Amino acid sequence: MQKFELERIQSLYENTVEYNLTESGFHPFTLRELLSSQQLEMVQDIVLGYGQTNGSIPLRETIARLYGAPFNSENVLVTNGSSEANFVACRTLLEEGDEVVMMIPNYMQIWGIAEEMGCTMKAFHLKEENHWRPDLEELRTTVTPATKMIVICNPNNPTGYTLSREEMDSIIAIARANDAWIYCDEVYRGAELDGVEIDSFLGRYEKVMVTGGLSKAYALPGLRLGWLAGPEADIYESWSYHDYTSITAGVLSHQIAEIALQPEKRRQILDRNRNMLNENLAHLQNWLASRGDFFRFIPPKAGGMAFVHYHAPDINSTELSHWLRKNKSLLIIPGDCYGLDGYFRLGIGERKKYLIEGLKRLKEGLDEYLELKRDQQQS
């Protein structure tokens, strides 16, 4: 099995450093911050049995309302995080020998799963020189009648780009012309900096399946609560694969998720995270500007991260990441994890003070590492 480099780097090192700037979501809530006194009291009385394996009916109804009519509880499967949703979706929609076209850069889990299944993987790209807009002509020429699925991440991980309605329409037209599925990772939907929630792909084309979850835009990763939403028959089939993976999400997670997704609570959560993101992004931009032209950066439109290019072609991003970890107790995600050396990803959904101190440490580390490289070149 191909190693999932991004997740392995975080799993190995995020708890071993003083400053972990790799988180792609927002600083998590505590239960006390999230729930009222009455709700905390209610949680204490929950019977810790098995929940309904495809998700409780009230929770699935609540999730379905995020997508509007005509979707209902039968269009939703609740999973242990969106990572399980991605795995289950691949097993449901793909077979060995299928062709998959995937947006790059992207969270690379589906690439690894589909490749391991024996699928043929192709890429179309978001272009930095075009402000991370997708190359739709590349997509048009890459997708063929043999393409089974087009994989999208919107809002995008790691760039924070959000597709316009016109771009979504173009992708749908390409999929429809080739009878291909669209699978869209929408876990950052709700984390738009301008407060205007983007449209889901669900409901815009018959062959669409999307994933969502509480780990990113909602700052509740510890619940491990995700979902698939799509056509009823295909969601029912995906439930069969879910029976062979985790069987069910935890009953506590079901209950807390139902509370978090109620309209008023959902608005409070998203507003808190959006305010945090806007404030931290402004600070990051000032920090980047203080380094002159060493960095190149297109601000995200959504999500809890920043994808930054650095002007040092002789410095590999993975080597830089490991040096900072070992010498400065600071962790960043190298662009190599996305197939884009010369970049790194920073989490900017953190507490402001923590981010400021982390960026100070990053400045110290970059100065020392660049000096070290200069000395090596001169010796």
Domain residue ranges in the chain: 5-29+266-370, 46-262
Q: How far apart are CA 314 and CA 79, in angstroms?
A: 43
> What's the gap between Cα 306 and its chain centre?
12
pLDDT of residue 6: 77
CA angle at residue 173 from 171 to 179, to 5 degrees? 100
Q: Pick from 217, 218, 184: which is nearest to 200 by CA?
A: 184
Proportion of the chain in helix, strand, coil states, percent, rounded to 5: 45, 15, 35
pLDDT of residue 80: 97
Q: Which DSSP letter does residue 192 get?
A: B
Give the chain's mean pLDDT. Answer: 95
Q: May I ask the CATH class of domain 46-262?
A: alpha beta
| pLDDT(196) > 90 | yes
H or E element at residue 326: helix 317-328
Q: How far apart are CA 163 and CA 198, in angstroms?
A: 8
H or E element at residue 140: helix 136-142
Q: Which CATH code is given to the segment(s) 5-29+266-370?
A: 3.90.1150.10
| pLDDT(337) > 80 | yes
Average pLDDT over residues 42-46: 92
pLDDT of residue 74: 98
HSE-up of residue 358 (Cα within 13 Å, Cβ side): 24
Q: In the chain, what percentage of residues exceed pLDDT 70? A: 99
pLDDT of residue 9: 82
